[in-house]
Structure 1
Amino acid sequence: MALMKHRGLFELLEKEGRGLLESNFQGLEAARVSSRLAIESMLEELAPNLWEDQLDRLVDFGHIISPQLEMNVLPALLHGEAVNIDMAFMVYVSHERGFLSEEDKCRIIECMRSLDLPVWHSHCSLDLVQKSLRERIQHSAGLQRMPLPIALGQGGVCRV
């Protein structure tokens, strides 16, 4: 949610993320604040759409290619790692489409790396991406609904 909805949360993770990892999210004010902001921003997105009537969902960010990637490489990647690889890929897509600045793209990828999150996997092939996109269309009422970051803490859903 930091990338798609809450710039302050992103900046907190960017600044305090290493310390949060080293402390196992224990005993630091940043742990309490980051957890609260993440939960609140997720609930703001999910609560009004419990029945998923609205298919343009920011919470789907990270879930375009990750399901296929995760299934192809089990148990090599944890779910969150596959989601992060998907998010990193979509950061590049957003930049290439002209939605995300070079500076923001670099900050996001650097933040991911600083948190020891993978940003690529060798199984993330063109074939896998194409298959994932086709499957996404089947589950999105015939449209490719692609949540993309457009600035730090701001996202949108690109319909293709």
Structure 2
Amino acid sequence: MSNGLAEILKMALMKHKGLFELLESHGKFLLDTNCQSCNGLLDHGCIALMTSRTAIETMLEELAPNLWEDDLDRLVDFGHLISPELELKVLPTLMHGEAVNIDMAYMTYVSNDRGFLTTAERNRIIQRMKNLELPVWHHDFSLNPVKISLNERLKHSEGLQRMPLPTGVGTAEIFNDIDDEVLERAFKKWCEDLCTEE
């Protein structure tokens, strides 16, 4: 359940503050009921149904205009920069959504280091991940695969990083100018703060 909620959280962070707030206030209920109960009602309907519908609509809104991926600037790539390397390295102990979430946690620190997110916003996002029972750090996620993944991305993205980063809760932009110094500082801070969270 947490694995799937990571993908919902991704869309919330990139495009939908209201969806993030739904996960914030009802995430535990969604986990405990496996998104199968409509006992938790909002004024306007079932929490599980509303969460799923909002996530799907948000994903479609992002993907539908770019079905053939003519535009390589994709917010849905958030959490997919280093996660493929991590996922392959530690299969089968880490599920896809868990690897994506670890990537998103690190990138949240990158965004904070660049000043796109406040420390309060960064901490709020990390706390949401923890409350959804998602991993936010892994000992096999090192700086070397980060740099390898970025180099691979440059090769396949017309020489641009095309790095989606949150610029607030529910807003994001694509960046092409995240240098090694930022990545290293953010990595160090991320490890200092979260290395006991595995």
Query: TM-score range, shorter-chain basis?
Result: over 0.9
Aligned match for 1:2, one of 7, 12, 17: 12
Aligned match for 1:113, one of 122, 130, 147: 130
Larger radius of gyration: 2
Counterpart AA for 1:122: H
Gaps of 5+ in 1: none
* Runs of 4+, deviation exceeding 6 Å: none
Between the two proteins, what is the percent identity of the paired residues?
A: 62
Is residue 2:60 matched to residue 1:43?
Answer: yes
CA distance in 2, matches of 1:104, 1:30: 24
CA distance in 1, matches of 2:152, 2:24: 33
Aligned match of 2:153: 136
Aligned match for 1:16, one of 9, 26, 38: 26
Aligned match of 2:96: 79
What are the superposed Cα offsets for residues 24-60 of structure 1, whole Å, 9 maximum, x if unpaired?
A: 1012311101100100000000000011011111010
CA distance in 2, matches of 1:13, 1:139: 34
Pairwise CA distance, 1:119: 0.5
Aligned match of 1:152: 169
SS at 1:2 equivalent: helix
CA distance in 2, matches of 1:68, 1:144: 17
Instruction: Decide which moves more: 119-128 or 135-144.
Output: 135-144
CA distance in 2, matches of 1:113, 1:127: 25
Counterpart AA for 1:94: S
Aligned match of 2:81: 64
CA distance in 1, matches of 2:79, 2:58: 16
CA distance in 2, matches of 1:27, 1:126: 41
**Number of residue pairs aligned between Structure 1 and Structure 2:** 160
TM-score for the superposition, normalised by structure 1: 0.98
TM-score for the superposition, normalised by structure 2: 0.79
SS at 2:15 equivalent: coil
Pairwise CA distance, 1:128: 1.2
CA distance in 2, matches of 1:80, 1:33: 21
Counterpart AA for 1:20: L
Aligned match of 1:101: 118
CA distance in 1, matches of 2:75, 2:159: 18
Gaps of 5+ in 2: 1-10, 39-45, 178-198
CA distance in 2, matches of 1:27, 1:118: 25
Pairwise CA distance, 1:72: 0.9
